[in-house]
Amino acid sequence: MRKWAALVNLLAAVLLVGLLSCSKKNPTSSTGGGGGADTTSPSVAISSPSNSSTVSRVVTITAQATDNVGVTKVEFYVDGVKIGESTTSPYTMTWDTYPYSDGTLHNLIAQAYDAANNKGTSATVQVTIQNFLLLWSNTWWVNASTYSWITSYLLASDSIKGTTNVRYGSDISYFYVFDHQNFIRFRAGQTASYIYGWTGRTSDNFALRISTSDSIHFVWGNTNLIGDKQYYAYLQYKRR
């Protein structure tokens, strides 16, 4: 009997050692620990500009982002092209709309990341660019053998574009764009250099950029000895 008891005790000891060994290799705890990887994506939304809005010049894009652990960065995209990122709240990025064509639609999105590289994507915000502003628009008569003009003070690097045409009469005898000094010379009947000009057209679409801040003069002429002409012009300017 003693031999059997000794054998049983030996087997029990071996079994206990085995259980302790397995416990060290695969520890468990009823109080937590080893909760698994973070798989929750951040939530993100663009709060400014608003969807279907019109924007101009330099726009600040603002996004709101949250995460169950923490947001590490928010990336900003225009038409699928990344324009920058922000790592601190409020998450913002500036976007220069000046190089883009007026009237075009563009899609903005924001993407938020957390430390586990989970990514959340915002809904698309669509905006329209409008940088050219109305400078002048009118229809008026120019008497025979006279001219008329409009004047506006513009800044260096301003862009100008316009449409001009004759509504009644044969053609626009001449159309000039002068800086101030050359306009004074023109008014005095002296030789003057124009920024832009032509003679003998019925209509024109033009675009130019101002080199220095100055009073800019737009001049329409009627060289007919008899007969008035009705002109129309629509002028816009684009400012940085």
DSSP H or E run through 19: helix 2-25
Residues with Cβ within 8 Å of residue 29, at least 6 apart in sequence? none
How many domains does the structure of the chain reveal? Answer: 2
**Residue 160 scores a pLDDT above 90:** yes
- Does the model's pTM come out above 0.75? no
Of the three residues 65, 100, 129, the one that is the final residue of a domain is 129
Q: How far is Cα 160 from Cα 214, in angstroms, rounded to an integer?
A: 13
Q: For position 22, what pLDDT does the model report? A: 47
Residues with Cβ within 8 Å of residue 180, at least 6 apart in sequence? 214, 215, 216, 217
Q: Note whether 48 and 115 are same-domain residues.
A: yes
Structure tokens at 231: 């002109």
Q: Note whether 186 and 104 are same-domain residues.
A: no
Tokens 């397995």 — which residue? Answer: 22
Q: Note whether 113 and 157 are same-domain residues.
A: no
Q: Note whether 229 and 147 are same-domain residues.
A: yes
Q: How far is Cα 76 from Cα 15, in angstroms, rounded to an integer?
A: 61
State the pairing for strand pair 125-129/53-55: parallel
**Residue 95 included in any domain:** yes
Tens-digit pLDDT profile for residues 171-226: 999 999 999 999 999 999 999 999 999 999 999 999 999 999 999 999 999 999 99
Q: Which whole number is the average pLDDT over 1-22?
A: 48
**Residue 210 included in any domain:** yes
**Residue 170 included in any domain:** yes
Q: Note whether 137 and 227 are same-domain residues.
A: yes
Domain coverage including residue 79 = 43-129
**Residue 27 included in any domain:** no
Q: The domain spanning residue 104 has which CATH number?
A: 2.60.40.10
Q: The domain spanning residue 194 has which CATH number?
A: 2.60.120.680
DSSP string covering 73-91, please? Answer: EEEEEETTEEEEEE-SSSE
pLDDT > 70 in the chain, percent: 85
State the pairing for strand pair 146-154/119-121: unpaired
Of the three residues 86, 107, 129, the one that is the final residue of a domain is 129
Pick from 25-39, 49-63, 128-142: least confident: 25-39
Q: Note whether 80 and 116 are same-domain residues.
A: yes
Residues with Cβ within 8 Å of residue 75, at least 6 apart in sequence? 82, 84, 85, 110, 111, 112, 113
Of the three residues 81, 101, 129, the one that is the final residue of a domain is 129
Q: Note whether 59 and 115 are same-domain residues.
A: yes
**Residue 202 included in any domain:** yes
